[in-house]
A and B are shown apart, each in its own frame.
Chain A
Amino acid sequence: MKKLNIQIVDTIDTSNIYAKLSHAHSGGICVFIGTVREFTNNEEVIALEFETYKAMALKEMQKIADEAVKKWNLNSVVMEHAVGAKKVEEPVVIVGASAAHRPECFEACRYLIDTLKERVPIWKKEMFKNKEVWVSAHP
């Protein structure tokens, strides 16, 4: 049976990822964790603030997971994104794929995060000392 774990959460728990992805039919697991970086273009970031259109975000994440399962014959998928204010070094997103062999895991994991960033209605605001900027809003 396939294991899918798709969530919008307040806090990402990275400690239980193996349990969520391990699978009897898998020979490998690949995980990507997105975190808050201290500097953007040499400017110090105090925090990132995330918000989402939750109902649609979950629906899009489910579609992306289904696409990946089908394309790479995955056994387990995790897609979790955090909302709220996140400080430097905190995790904000975790995606993972488990499959029979490692090439599928690597490719699927990259697809999960790249496609999430393109399609899922989640927005981040960079909080600097003196200003706040919605990322990607303006050309």
Chain B
Amino acid sequence: MNVLFFGITRDIVGTSELLISDLVNKPTVNDLKEYLKTRYSEFSKLTSFAVAVNNEYAKDNVPLERNDEIAIIPPVSGG
């Protein structure tokens, strides 16, 4: 799956877009979060981070489909 990164998470992974092929067997939002925390220890130090699926905040149990637009949303700080 293709994953977009913003803000501090882009700095952590070093790119704004990453192809992740390690997640198999119908992964969920939670699986992706755990994968990122394992692969990049800096993710565990963040206040929090959310996952957006097709431009909507997604709960942990939401399944990720191949054609979804998936994005990592670190703590927002607009305004």
User: Using a CB–CB distance below 8 Å, which chain A residues touch chain B?
Assistant: 34, 50-53, 55-57, 59, 81, 92-93, 113, 116-125, 134-139
Contact = CB atoms under 8 A, between A and B. Distances in A.
Contacts of A118: 76
A56 B77 contact: no
Contacts, number: 77
A56 B76 CA distance: 12
B48 to A, nearest CB: 9
Contacts of A113: 79
A91 B69 CA distance: 31
Interface of B: 4, 6-8, 11, 45-47, 52, 55-57, 71, 73-79
Contacts of A138: 45-47
A53 B77 contact: no
B7 A137 contact: yes
Contact of B78 (A55, A59, A81, A139): A81
A139 to B, nearest CB: 5
Contacts of B46: 137-138
Nearest to A124: B77
Contacts of A92: 79
Contacts of A135: 77
